[in-house]
Structures are given as C-alpha cells and as structure tokens.
Chain A
Amino acid sequence: MAIKNNYIRIEYLVFLCAVSAFGFVTENTYYLQIMTFIGINTLLGLGLNMLMGYTGQVSLGHAAFYGIGAYTTAILSGTYGINPWLSLVCAVAAAVFIAFIVGLPTLRLSGYYLAMGTLGFGMIVNIVIREWAAVTGGASGFVGIPVLEAGPLIFMSGANYYFLVWGIVFAAMIVCRRLLASRTGRALRAIHDGEKTAVAIGINTHLLKLEIFIFAAALGAVAGFLYAHFVLFISPESFGFMFSIKIVTMVVIGGMASVWGALLGATVLTLLPEVLHGFAEYEMIIFGTVLMVVMIFMPQGLTRGIMDMIRTAGRART
C-alpha cells in the first residue's frame, strides 16, 4: 500500500510541475486563456465525477450550480459592490443551500428519475436567470463584474488567473482524492455498486448521496465564480441544458471513477471546439460522435482505456 501511495504522490508532483511550467513559460494569452477554461471545466467535472462516476447518481442539471455560483457573485459584487472574495463565500453558500433543498427530495429518486429530476431543476434555474431581468440582466446577460484582486495582485492578466484557477483545481483534486480514500469514499462506491446492499450493511445512503450532491454543487459554484470573474460578462446560455450535457460528456469521456478522468475529459471537451473552429455548426455532431466512439471502444473512458492500452502493449512486448 505504501508503494502505491508514493506513486500517487509522484503523479501529483508531475502534474503540479507541468502546470506550473506551462504557466511560467507560456506568453501567449490565448493559450493561457484556453488552459484557464480547462481548469474551470475540470472543477465542474471533478464535482460531477464524485456524484456520477463514484456514487452512480446521474445529474443532468449540474450547470445550474455553475450558474448559481456565477450569478451570485456577479450580482453581489457587481450590483452591490461586495468584496468578490466575500461573494465567493456567498456563492458557495447559495449553491449548498439550494443543493440541500433540491437534493432532499430528488435524491430519493434513482436512475432515470433522478436524471429527469435534475434535468428539470437545471431548466428552472436557467429560466429564472433568463426571466429575472431586473437582477440578472436577463437574456442579454450581466455586465459589470469586477476584477478579482488580492492586495497587490490583480487577477486579470492571463498568467495570474491561470495560477489562481489551477491552484484551486489542484486543491480540489487533493480533496476529492482524500475523500475517496476514506470511509466516506468507500461508502460512496458501495452505493454505486449496489444501493440496496449498501443500506443493508448500514450505510445511510440518502444522507450520503445528499452530502456528495452538495459537495459537487459547491465545486460547481466555485467554478462559476472563477468563470464570472474571468470573462467579466455572463449570459444564461453558458449555464443551460447543453452545458449540463457537456459536463456529463466530460465525465464519461474522461472516465468515470477517476480523478484524472475529469481533467482529461475537461481538456478534450474544451480543446475540441477550439480545434474545430471552422466546423462550429457541427460541434454537437462531433461531440456526439466522439462520445459514441469512446463508449464503444473504451467504455471505461479515456483514462482507463489508455492505461489498459499501455498495459497490453507492455505485456505484448515481454
């Protein structure tokens, strides 16, 4: 076990070095911007991965918490001039509170019903954002989100924001990993493997599902906060149903039940539209095709698929 733990530490160290190196070396603001978006999407993927990949509870409304995070900070810091860091706390609190209220009845559902329930919730949040124009700016969006500052640091230039986002991503990955290696993590995986059996061995599945739903929502709100203060202008489309599906796709493509899967999935799904700039209209078709191909050839997701390929290649050589 000790050896295994060391490997994991090395993985994280390599990851940290690679991310820092990229941040220091890259001057191109476009690349830094893309990487920042990858980081924000990774946060969303990480949260949903805990809920969907590990606990087996499909949510089709995850973008709602992203939106709640973004709009809460936008309104509080933009309209009311509250310190953005304080509004981060409020954004997370709002997401936690709403996740609690929504999750309490919804998580009694399972399978398709849970998916439908969260889908409905996501749509309601989007409609509220769209229609409550006096506060949210409605369909035309919210303008005037302040830039993040911390003492002499201004988080506007590419590199600063890049490091802020990836620092948070790294912390979130550690939190997820620690959680998974714990009693709680084992219980979550038990729910995934068999919810009835999990109850029969004494796990309060309803409470635990609620906890992890709230955790995912909180990570989503942090991602929303980072997004809002990065782009400084937000509109309802960014938090709609299509984006919820996109987060689900990230988790599935990257590989459910792997912390690295969220990172890989977010990377692929953030880069694809950039690479396929000329084919913007066909974006959904290409996403769909990629999803299908991955599901057919690597049903465990890219992370596991690639690992298996390396292993088989290694075995073939010896």
Chain B
Amino acid sequence: MTQSEPTPGIPAKQILDVQNLTKMFGGVKAQDQISFSIEKGIVCGLIGPNGAGKTTLFNMITGIYQPDAGKVAFNGKDIRKTPAHRLVKAGIARTFQHVELFSSMTLLENILVGMHVRTQAGFWAAVTRIPAMKREERQSRRRAEELLEFTGLCADAHKMAGDLPAGRQKTAQIARALASEPLLLLLDEPAAGLNPVETHALGKLIQKIKQSGITMMLVEHDMSLVMEMSDKVVVLDQGKKLAEGTPRQIQRNEAVMSAYLGNG
C-alpha cells in the first residue's frame, strides 16, 4: 500500500483521506465515488437528505462495511481491510444515531468498557489480581470519573445506563466514545431527539472536545448546529458528493439548496 503512505518530508495534515469510495447494496450504489479529506483538529459536518448515505459512509470509515472500490486512509495508513475493533485502537471512535449504551450496566461501567482498547488486563490478571491490574483498574476509574465530569454526567455515574433520560444517554454515548481516547470522533446525529437546551449544551460539549484536539465528523440534521460547529461541510445526496466547503459556501450553494428544498 505504498500509494497511501504520506509523502516524506511533509507532515500528514490530513487525518482522514477518502478517495473514490464506492459501496453497492445489491446493485444500488449507496456510495458513488466519494472523495474528501479532513484536516487534523477540525470539525467536519456531513449533511444531506435522508438516504444520502451518511451513515453508510460512517460505517465504511469505522470498518463495519467494506467498500467495493476506492480507499480510506487514516493518518496516512490504508484502513480498508482493518477490522472494526482494531480501528478503535488506532483512534477512530463513533456514536450511533440510535443510542446503543449497554443498558444492563451502570453509566460508569459503560465508560469503563469504553476504555477497553486503552487497557490491558486479561484473563489471568483478573483472576490473580496482580498489582498491575489493580493499578490499571484504579486509573481507569479515575479517568472515567474525569470523563463524566467533562461531559457533565457525574450525578448519574451509578445509575443503570438504560434508565437514563434520552438526552443523557446521548451524551453518555459521547463520553463512552471519548473513553477510547480517539483521534477522530464520528458523531451520528447527536442532536436528534434533544430539546433546544440540550442541543445548546451539546454544542458546548463539541467545542470542548474540539479544544482538546480531537478531530470530529458530525452527521446532523440540525442545520444551525452543523453550521455553527463545522469548519468544513461535506454534502451528500443520493450517494454522491454534492458539495464541499466552508459553512458559508455551502449555505450559498445552489445545488445544495435544490437538493434540500426540491427543484420547485
């Protein structure tokens, strides 16, 4: 995969590079020749009407689907063949459109399990309780508590994740994704189902995450949130890339307007 190596001498500024990505579902092109790249440290909005292929794109970046053609490079490395669980270790984390917390576990445990790729203790360490395992467990707990504080969820630490109100579950998903210490965080409709107050809080959280140096991709239908948060917006429509640019450029783009509002 020499083609995907970064050019020597020039530091890789792009954390994610997608080239001509294509995915077929039974003859239907869910993704057609999509190309774009994301620079380190920015928030990239990904918008488009329902069925445009936003979630499919997320699923390919996170290794859940294998693309039929094209390439995806993360930090200069080709990741098309990397299994999903290894990509998390490499630094790609995500949240889901529909909240998928582990509902029979407490919130704290959800965060702890989110640290899976950054911790080591295995079977024998757990059974023998070696000091290294105990130390790791203590550190994990401390880090989990920090994350809960960061996301404003401290009060719910010991509640069952499934019992939390919907808005808090959405935030908890982000906290769990952050627990894996990602370099790139993909948020799939984090504001769906949130009330305006919660959406405002979410915006603040996204900014805090950005300040901590994590690159984000944001799929969202709440346009004001996307336009406010994003440094760059990619627009998909029917599996094709329609436009790419700053929020300002996108808002003025006629093709985008007609895709959203119809041609009438």
Contact = CB atoms under 8 A, between A and B. Distances in A.
Interface stretch (A35-43, A106-114, A144-152, A177-185): A177-185
Contacts of B114: 201
Given A182-B125, A194-B100, A197-B102, A205 B137 contact: no
B74 to A, nearest CB: 14
B244 interface: no
Given A182-B133, A183-B121, A201-B93, A190 B126 contact: no
A202 B102 contact: no
A189 B105 contact: yes
A196 B125 CA distance: 26
B147 to A, nearest CB: 14
Contacts of A204: 83, 85
B127 A178 contact: yes
Interface in B195-254: none
Interface residues of A, number: 28
B117 A202 contact: yes
Say whether chain B's binding surface is mostly helix, strand, loop, or mixed.
helix
A184 B126 contact: yes
Contacts, number: 94
Nearest to B84: A199
Interface-central residue, A175, A182, A187, A197, by most chain B CB under 10 Å: A182
Contact of A182 (B84, B100, B105, B121): B121
A200 B62 contact: yes
Nearest to B93: A201
Interface string B107-126: 00100111111011111011
B89 interface: yes
Range class of the B interface residue count: 35 or more
A211 interface: yes
A63 to B, nearest CB: 24
A194 B133 CA distance: 26
B180 interface: yes
A283 interface: no
Given A179-B126, A201-B113, A211-B123, A190 B85 contact: no
A201 B123 contact: no
Interface-central residue, A183, A192, A193, A197, by most chain B CB under 10 Å: A183
Given A183-B137, A199-B64, A201-B88, 4 more contacts: A181-B126, A192-B104, A194-B100, A204-B83
6 contacts: A175-B127, A178-B126, A179-B127, A186-B109, A193-B103, A200-B84
Interface of A: 175, 178-179, 181-187, 189-190, 192-194, 196-205, 211, 215, 257
